[in-house]
């Protein structure tokens, strides 16, 4: 009992003093939160278990909800909240919390922080929050900021409520259907926004739009024409702004109930499409320059429309018609967009009362002159001028009028002079009577049939500005189309790729993590070892250039954009989650053609550079090593804070599920021969890592949850985030301790020194688990049996009862018993206390291979030479295969022939590798 209970105790003590298990991280964060906020009303947070705290909800010891609304809290929120990576709901609205609001984990779905005194939001707050459904953050004391365009990353957003949130500047053109397909509520009231309502709002599903009460000097301006296309609107509050132009045609807004236009600069006749809207319940029109007859609504509608002169209606009686002259004048200015400058002064029902109507000059009770010169009008000349029969002078010069001169004007009986000079009119000048003076000079296209310049802007539009907005929209649409095309090309290329290589390359690879982060009670650790000085300049994540290897990868075009990955995973939908591990979440993705992939999304909040280093390490390793029994990388994405790896899908999940959770998962227990074959696969994969790849890679985290199974039940080793490359000429080196309890070689746990024998030890533990069906650490056992290795060795001493350790879930015959004894011996050999006493992986393969042959004589390994090719990185191999196929279209691409280039090919066509990746390391023998 050399390696006995005392040693385990020693280990446990060591860990309990130095190492912090991952799950207690929430505890630390919750303690921080507890000390940084104060409640005057009792908030019972006294229990030692934070999951029992009032208004805190947990799921398996991870905090999922914190609901502290209306608690009269003061204090601030700690930065560490971002580490609560299972948090979905955070409510602290209606308190007196102050200070900078911290970043939140990207698991968050609902965020209510309104009515506090927070002074800022992090500038990158929305960068990664793709799970957010609802944000309510108004009524704080933020310093001025712009609406962050990174908000568009929050694709799932349903509600964005930020009233009185100190926003300045314009509303960005992000609020559109592409970015926010689910957006229903957009509330931006009482900020200091200015500029126009963005055109992107057209066609959105927004039901509730509040932009009222902007505090900026200019407020929001421009027309409301975009709301004509917001057909889902139910509530529209645009009051207290500087919107101009008429109320648009609302006939398609069939659900509009509550609309508030008051306190703007709106002009024109209230359209019948508003007054007759059946859904309408509340309408506010007071204090604009609305014209024409005061609208009459159905009795069921609550109307706020002060008729005492706050608008420019022709009468003070709702529904009472205007005089024909007023109606004629209104028709005349309709194509000009009801200019504000006219509406302001055109009050009452008689244009000729006291000559106060701008642009209208009367002689007695008749209009004699229309003088719209130099008023900056755009739009077209109305044919309704013809109904102003007393007009002698029609002066429209020096504007931006477009279109043609209407034929009808020739019928004006009193007309003596028409001046349309210096506009943008085109077409033939109609034939006026001979005594009419016509001035059409200064219109570049007059006399021509078609304008040479762009078409007419719409009435009430903001002339030239409108063009540029249109152009921008066009460009945006173009870019969107291009993006779409890119996605299409990607999908098509994938299809082609799959057709050609998918079946042969790595049949069904994938990374599935178990539902828990470790194996049962095994706890993932990743903490600096005591006295962690790095020998030989190599340790943890430094010492050799990983970035150079990452660049190699990029050359091979493995970069996949985040948009594509979002698309294939339904925007990282909960439903697509295959598993969660210590470093992130794995999602299932499905390409258009049905090909399944696994997308591992690293947690964005990994402390410091650790996450990035794990990520780069995994890319570096997986592009350097390729082997039938190592899971294959298809691509990756490193954008903004996103770190994603794309693997092939392994449909049968993890070995852990098949060994330990098979009952729960509705699986059959593995037969003995399957177990042997899996053990051999793993041994081959690890043997390859340990030296056959010409460099020494050490996995450091071998365990059943990192062993994945394909539909053929062949195994692949996955999760290379902790893999380390041994430095040149060194068989061992010190590193930060990382790995999983129960699988850690004792010398590694104690000293942090890593050799390939660390993996051999873990492999031995896996063999024991395969034999016994017990977890490396099994808390359901009596104390002295918790640690599998200890128990296994003890049982081994008693030859008579040794067979009792065999997993009761499987039947094993005489022949099987013989191989069982061999494997049991091998397992305990691997778990020898001294590293030098442990065999190397090659030995394991040599022992296991003949045993597996016995069981599977008819299934020879097509490629048994430890992988495909040892010198090519994946991208290099890819392009080579593609070239080969280009040369010979009839070539039947198969694993053993075309996919494995001969040595000569390899030598001649593969460029020398970059020296950055410890290439000079030649010794394959780490032992
Ligand atoms: C907070 O907890 C108290 C006591 O359990 C409960 O009465 C209250 O409804 C909870 N509030 C919220 C918002 O969950
Ligand atoms: C809220 O807390 C403040 C002190 O922080 C206290 O003066 C006030 O009375 C409390 N209000 C309520 C409603 O509990
Ligand atoms: C809001 O913040 C400003 C400083 O930015 C501070 O002077 C002011 O007192 C704060 N107001 C409240 C109500 O906390
Ligand atoms: C609309 O607001 C913008 C930004 O405040 C301002 O530059 C522009 O002049 C305004 N347009 C009109 C017509 O007032
Ligand atoms: C209403 O919708 C129909 C169908 O989409 C469209 O043809 C029509 O032009 C729309 N009307 C208005 C006023 O926008
Ligand atoms: C709009 O009109 C309704 C009905 O008269 C009224 O209750 C409401 O306060 C008004 N809203 C505003 C912002 O004036």
pLDDT, one tens digit per residue, over 179-197 is 898 999 999 999 999 999 9
Interval between CA 576 and ligand 6 midpoint (Å): 46
What's the CA gap between 444 and 408, in Å, rounded?
Answer: 22
Q: In this predicted model, what pLDDT tens digit does every residue of 660-704 receive, in sequence order?
A: 998 888 889 999 999 999 999 999 999 888 876 567 788 888 999
Beta bridge partners of 625: none
List the 96-100 sheet strands across, edge first. 37-39, 73-75, 96-100, 117-120
Give, for ligand 3, the residue of 100, 141, 165 to mutate: max count of ligand atoms closer than 8 Å to Cβ: 141
Burial environment of residue 373 by CB neighbours within 10 A (0 to 12, 13 to 18, 19 or more): middle
Residue 86: alpha-carbon gap to chain centroid: 17
Mean pLDDT for the stretch of residues 884-889: 32
As a whole number, the mean pLDDT across the chain is 78
Residue 23 banded pLDDT, cuts 50, 70, 90:
low
CATH number of 327-466: 3.80.10.10
- Res 887 pLDDT > 70: no
Q: Measured between alpha carbons, how far is 819 from 807 in angstroms, rounded to an integer? A: 14
Residue 120 in contact with residue 97, Cβ under 8 Å?
no
CA distance 346 to 340: 10
Query: Using a 6 Å CB cutoff, which residues line ligand 3?
Result: 117, 119, 141, 143
Q: How far is CA 180 from the centre of its chain?
A: 12
**Ligand 4 pocket, residue 221 CB under 6 Å:** yes
Question: At residue 15, does pLDDT exceed 70?
Answer: no
| Cα 252 to averaged position of ligand 5 atoms, centre (Å) | 6
**Which residue CA neighbors atom 6 of ligand 1 most closely?**
55
What kind and span of H or E run contains 304? Answer: strand 302-304
Q: What superfamily does domain 2-297 belong to in CATH? A: Ribonuclease Inhibitor (3.80.10.10)
Encoded tokens for 288: 């604009």
The set of protein residues with a Cβ atom below 6 angstroms from ligand 1 is 54-55, 67, 69
Cα within 13 Å of Cα(128), Cβ side: 23
Minimum-distance ligand to the CA of 254? Answer: 5
Ligand 5 atom with the shortest distance to the CA of 273: 13
Q: How far is 356 from 522, CA to CA, in rounded Å?
A: 88
Residues, the chain? 927
Is the pLDDT assigned to residue 344 strictly greater than 70? yes
* Whether pLDDT at 105 is above 60: yes
Measure the CA–CA gap between 350 and 367, rounded to whole angstroms.
11
> Which of the listed ranges 306-320, 721-735, 880-894 does the model predict with the highest average pLDDT?
306-320
Q: Give dist(CA 690, CA 680) in Å, integer.
A: 15
Q: List the beta strands (DSSP E) in 338-406.
A: 360-363, 366-371, 378-380, 393-395, 400-403
Distance 241 CA to ligand 6 centre (A): 16
Classify residue 914 by burial, with Cβ atoms within 10 Å: 0-12, 13-18, 19+. Answer: middle
Q: How far is the CA of 155 from the centre of ligand 5 (A)?
A: 27
CA–CA–CA angle 269, 275, 280 (5° rounding): 135
Is the pLDDT at 401 greater than 90, yes or no?
A: yes
> Pocket of ligand 4, candidates 221, 223, 265, 267: which has the most ligand atoms within 8 Å of its Cβ, to mutate?
221
Strand 56-59, strand 584-590: pairing: unpaired
| Average pLDDT of the segment spanning 116-135 | 94
- 522 Cβ neighbours under 8 A, 6+ residues apart: 703, 740, 741, 742, 743, 775, 776, 777
Residue 600 counted as an annotated binding residue:
yes
The verdict on the CB of residue 169 being under 6 Å from ligand 4 is no
Element containing residue 291 per DSSP (H, E): strand 289-292
Looking at per-residue pLDDT, the higher value among 805 and 732 belongs to 805
Handedness of CA 398, 399, 400, 406 (dihedral sign): negative
Q: What is the pLDDT of residue 906?
A: 28
41 ligand 2 Cβ < 6 A: yes
**Pair 72, 92: CB distance under 8 Å:** no
What atom in ligand 3 is closest to the CA of residue 141?
1
| Separation of CA 75 and ligand 2 centre (Å) | 13
26: left (phi over 0), alpha (psi -120 to 50) or beta: alpha
DSSP-derived secondary structure letter, 692: I
pLDDT at 449: 80
pLDDT at 206 over 50: yes
Range 122-152 burial, b when 16+ CB lie within 10 A, else e: eeebbbbbbbbbbbbbbbbebeeeebbebbb
* Alpha-carbon distances, residue 886 vs 171, 500, 901 (angstroms): 51, 12, 15
Residues 715/680, Cβ–Cβ less than 8 Å: no
643's enclosing H/E stretch is strand 642-648
Q: Nearest 5°: CA angle at 252, between 247 and 254?
A: 100
What is the structure's pLDDT at 609? Answer: 63
Q: Are 234 and 255 in contact, with CB atoms under 8 Å apart? A: yes
Q: What is the pLDDT of residue 744?
A: 87
pLDDT in the model for residue 493:
32
Question: Are the C-beta atoms of 506 and 632 separated by less than 8 Å?
Answer: yes
Measured from the Cα of 98, ligand 3's closest atom is 14
> Could you tell me the two tokens for 393?
């002078």
Give, for ligand 1, the residue of 55, 58, 70, 90 to mutate: max count of ligand atoms closer than 8 Å to Cβ.
55
Rounded Cα gap, residues 649 and 627, in angstroms:
16
Tokens 């994540």 locate to: 541
Lowest mean pLDDT among 202-216, 253-267, 655-669: 655-669
d(CA 541, CA 612): 10
CB 256 within 8 A of CB 231: no
CA distance 441 to 397: 9
- Classified as helix, coil or strand, 601 is strand
Which residues have a catalytic role annotated? Answer: 701
User: At residue 175, does pLDDT exceed 90?
Assistant: yes
- In this prediction, residue 210 has a pLDDT band, given cuts at 50, 70 and 90, of very high
pLDDT of residue 141: 95
Q: What is the pLDDT of residue 1?
A: 40
Comparing 79-93, 326-340, 778-792, which segment has the lowest mean pLDDT?
Answer: 778-792
Phi and psi, residue 380, nearest 5°: -110, 170
pLDDT for the residue numbered 452: 56
Residue keyed to tokens 């477009």: 402
Domain ranges within the chain, ordered by starting residue: 2-297, 327-466, 474-498, 510-648, 655-857+877-885
- Does residue 218's CB lie within 6 angstroms of at least one atom of ligand 4? yes
Identify the residues whose C-beta falls under 6 Å from ligand 5: 228, 249, 251-252
In CATH terms, the fold of domain 655-857+877-885 is Transferase(Phosphotransferase); domain 1 (1.10.510)
CATH number for the segment(s) 510-648: 3.30.200.20
Is the CB–ligand 4 distance for residue 196 below 6 Å?
A: no
Residue 104 contacts residue 126 (beta carbons within 8 Å): no
**Residue 799, token pair as written in the block:** 């030859």
Average of per-residue pLDDT across 103-116: 96
Task: Tell me the pairing of strands 633-639 and 56-59.
Answer: unpaired
For the chain, the distance separating the N- and C-terminal CA atoms, rounded to the nearest angstrom, is 26
% the chain with pLDDT above 90: 48
567-601 pLDDT, tens digit each:
888 888 888 888 876 667 889 888 777 778 888 88
Backbone angles phi, psi at 877, to 5 degrees: -60, -40
pTM strictly above 0.75: no
CA 758: distance to chain centroid?
38
Ramachandran angles phi, psi of 359, nearest 5° = 80, -5
Decide if 2-297 and 327-466 have a common fold: yes
């Amino acid at each position: 009992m050399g390696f006995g209970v005392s040693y385990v105790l020693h280990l446990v003590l060591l860990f309990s003093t130095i190492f912090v298990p991952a799950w207690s991280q929430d505890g630390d964060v919750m303690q921080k939160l507890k000390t940084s906020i104060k409640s005057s009303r009792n908030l019972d947070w006294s229990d030692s278990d934070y999951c029992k705290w009032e208004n805190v909800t947990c799921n398996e010891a991870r905090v999922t909800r914190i609901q502290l609304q209306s608690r009269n809290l003061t204090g601030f929120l700690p930065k560490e909240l971002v580490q609560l990576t299972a948090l979905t709901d955070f409510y602290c609205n209606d308190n007196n919390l102050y200070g900078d609001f911290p970043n939140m984990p990207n698991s968050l779905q609902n965020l209510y922080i309104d009515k506090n005194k927070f002074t800022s939001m992090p500038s990158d707050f929305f960068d990664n929050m793709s799970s957010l459904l609802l944000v309510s953050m108004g009524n704080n004391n933020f310093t001025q900021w712009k609406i962050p365009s990174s908000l568009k990353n929050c694709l799932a957003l349903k509600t964005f409520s930020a009233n009185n949130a100190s926003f300045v500047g314009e509303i960005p053109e992000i609020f559109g259907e592409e970015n926010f397909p689910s957006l229903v509520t957009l509330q931006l009231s009482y900020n200091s926004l200015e500029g126009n309502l963005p055109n992107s709002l057209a066609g959105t599903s927004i039901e509730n739009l509040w932009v009222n009460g902007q505090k900026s000097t200019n407020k929001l301006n421009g027309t409301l024409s975009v709301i004509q296309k917001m057909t889902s609107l139910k509530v529209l509050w645009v009051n207290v702004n500087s919107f101009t132009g008429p109320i648009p045609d609302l006939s398609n807004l069939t659900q509009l109930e509550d609309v508030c236009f008051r306190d703007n600069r709106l002009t024109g006749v209230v359209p019948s499409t508003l007054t007759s809207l059946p859904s309408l319940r509340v309408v506010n029109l007071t204090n604009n320059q609305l014209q024409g007859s005061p609208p009459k609504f159905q009795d069921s509608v609550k109307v706020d429309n002060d008729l005492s002169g706050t608008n420019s209606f022709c009468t003070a009686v709702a529904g009472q018609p205007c005089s024909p002259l007023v109606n004629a004048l209104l028709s005349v200015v309709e194509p000009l967009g009801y200019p504000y400058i006219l509406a302001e002064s055109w009050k009452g029902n008689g244009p000729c009362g006291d000559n106060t109507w701008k642009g209208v000059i009367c002689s007695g009770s008749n209009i004699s002159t229309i003088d719209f010169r130099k008023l900056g009008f755009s739009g077209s000349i109305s044919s309704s001028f013809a109904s102003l029969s007393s007009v002698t002078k029609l002066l429209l010069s020096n504007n931006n009028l477009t279109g043609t001169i209407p034929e009808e004007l020739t019928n004006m009986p009193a007309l003596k002079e028409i001046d349309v000079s210096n506009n943008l009119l085109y077409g033939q000048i109609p034939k006026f009577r001979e005594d009419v003076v016509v001035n059409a000079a200064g219109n570049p296209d007059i006399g021509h049939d078609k304008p040479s310049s762009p078409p007419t802007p719409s009435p009430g539009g903001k002339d030239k500005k409108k063009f540029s907005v249109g152009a921008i929209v066009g460009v945006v649409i173009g870019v969107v189309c291009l993006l779409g095309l890119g996605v299409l090309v990607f999908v098509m290329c994938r299809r082609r790729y799959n057709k050609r290589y998918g079946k042969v390359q790595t049949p069904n690879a994938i990374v599935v993590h178990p539902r828990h982060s470790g194996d049962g009670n095994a706890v993932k650790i990743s903490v600096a070892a005591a006295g962690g000085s790095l020998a030989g300049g190599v340790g943890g994540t430094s010492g050799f250039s990983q970035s150079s290897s990452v660049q190699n990868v990029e050359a091979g075009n493995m970069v996949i954009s985040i948009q594509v990955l979002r698309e294939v995973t339904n925007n990282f939908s909960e439903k697509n989650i295959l598993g969660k591990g210590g470093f992130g979440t794995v999602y299932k993705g499905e390409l258009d053609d049905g090909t399944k992939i696994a997308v591992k999304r690293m947690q964005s909040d990994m402390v410091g550079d650790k996450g990035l280093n794990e990520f780069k390490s995994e890319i570096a390793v997986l592009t350097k090593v390729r082997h039938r029994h190592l899971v294959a990388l298809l691509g990756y994405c490193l954008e903004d804070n996103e770190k994603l790896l794309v693997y092939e899908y392994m449909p049968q999940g993890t070995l852990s599920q098949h060994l330990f959770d098979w009952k729960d998962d509705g699986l059959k227990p593995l037969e003995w021969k399957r177990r042997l074959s899996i053990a051999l696969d793993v041994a081959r994969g690890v043997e390859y890592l340990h030296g056959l790849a010409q460099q020494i890679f050490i996995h450091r985290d071998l365990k059943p949850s990192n062993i994945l199974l394909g539909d053929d039940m062949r195994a692949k080793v996955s999760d290379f985030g902790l893999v380390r490359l041994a430095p040149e000429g060194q068989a061992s080196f010190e590193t930060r301790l990382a790995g999983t309890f129960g699988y850690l070689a004792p010398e590694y746990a104690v000293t942090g020194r890593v050799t390939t024998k660390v993996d051999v030890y873990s492999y031995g533990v896996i063999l024991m688990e395969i034999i016994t069906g017990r977890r490396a650490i099994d808390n359901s056992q009596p104390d002295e049996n918790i640690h599998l290795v200890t128990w296994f060795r003890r049982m081994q001493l008693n030859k008579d009862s040794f067979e009792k350790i065999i997993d009761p879930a499987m039947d094993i015959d005489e022949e099987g018993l013989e191989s069982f004894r061999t494997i049991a011996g091998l397992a305990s050999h691997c778990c020898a206390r001294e590293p030098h006493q442990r065999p190397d992986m090659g030995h394991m393969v040599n022992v296991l291979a003949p045993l597996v042959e016995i069981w599977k004589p008819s299934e020879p390994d097509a490629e048994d030479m430890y992988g495909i090719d040892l010198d090519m990185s994946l991208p290099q191999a890819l392009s080579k295969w593609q070239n080969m196929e280009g040369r010979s279209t009839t070539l039947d691409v198969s694993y053993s022939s075309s996919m494995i280039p001969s040595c000569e090919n390899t030598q001649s066509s593969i460029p020398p590798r970059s020296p950055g990746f410890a290439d000079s390391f030649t010794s394959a023998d780490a032992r």
